[in-house]
Amino acid sequence: MTPSSAGTGAPPVSFARAERAELCDLMLELGPDAPTLCAGWTTRDLTAHLFVRENRPDAAAGIVLAPFAAHTAKVQSDAASGDFGLLVDSVRRGAPRWSPQALGPVDSATNTIEYFVHHEDVRRARDGWEPRVLGDAQAGELWSRFRAGARFLLRRSPVGVVALPTDGPDVAREVRLKGGDRTVTLAGPVAEIVLSGYGRLTRGLELRGSGTDVAAFLNFDR
């Protein structure tokens, strides 16, 4: 997948925007009741989550802050109850103009991983899925953004985490993502390393370490 606007005179489409568009296309194709890898969520629920995250700052805080979770759940439920096609269209348009996320650099910083992971949440919830092969530019951007946030993302991991990418800018180079006396090594494509960090289903990723440590990494609370 190589986002591009070659030949149109328009600037290249960012990785985040390309993932957003492809996810929206897929959700419309599958309909509102298709399963996802987000526990208990259908495509309707996932679309409502993405809508609230960008369009309802009064409710978005509850996505990460427990004291506000009840309000977020209500707003998200209300959004999910509307017309699915219109909800997907709202997500496709992106953040409103008044939002910082409407700016290209902010959109890329906040949405590249978000939309990549959720795109895979829908793709990999179906039988017969295969991993995508990312282009060098996409793997590089995904990896740099993941590395920047890995320490926070993996803060609850009971074991140290080392990555050994087989593509991207750090190919074949061990990168420590989290320290620890006991360590698990994630060896494989950048896309699969990123998805494992978010507790998602992976394929083609080798997890090296003791059985106990690997299980601890796979099952810690993200």
The full set of domains in the chain, from first to last, is 15-123 (no CATH), 151-219 (3.30.1050)
Distance CA 214, CA 222 (A): 15
Residue 156 tokens read as: 């609850």
Q: What is the pLDDT along the chain (222 residues), one digit of tens a residue?
A: 445 444 556 668 899 999 999 999 999 999 999 999 999 999 999 999 999 999 998 877 777 777 878 988 899 999 999 999 999 999 999 999 999 999 999 999 999 999 999 999 999 999 999 999 999 999 999 999 999 999 999 999 999 999 999 999 999 999 999 999 999 999 999 999 999 999 999 999 999 999 999 999 999 998
**Residue 59: predicted pLDDT:** 78
**Quick one: which of 178, 183, 185, 186 has its CA closest to 204?**
186
From the number of C-beta atoms within 10 Å of its C-beta (0-12, 13-18, 19+), residue 30 rates as: middle
Helices (H) and strands (E) in the chain, counts: 9, 4
Dihedral angle computed from the Cα positions of residues 134, 169, 192 and 63, in that order, rounded to the nearest 10 degrees = -100
Q: Which residues pair with 160 in a beta bridge?
A: 183
Sheet architecture: strand order including 183-188: 175-178, 160-165, 183-188, 206-208
Q: Which residues pair with 111 in a beta bridge?
A: none
Distance CA 124, CA 130 (A): 8
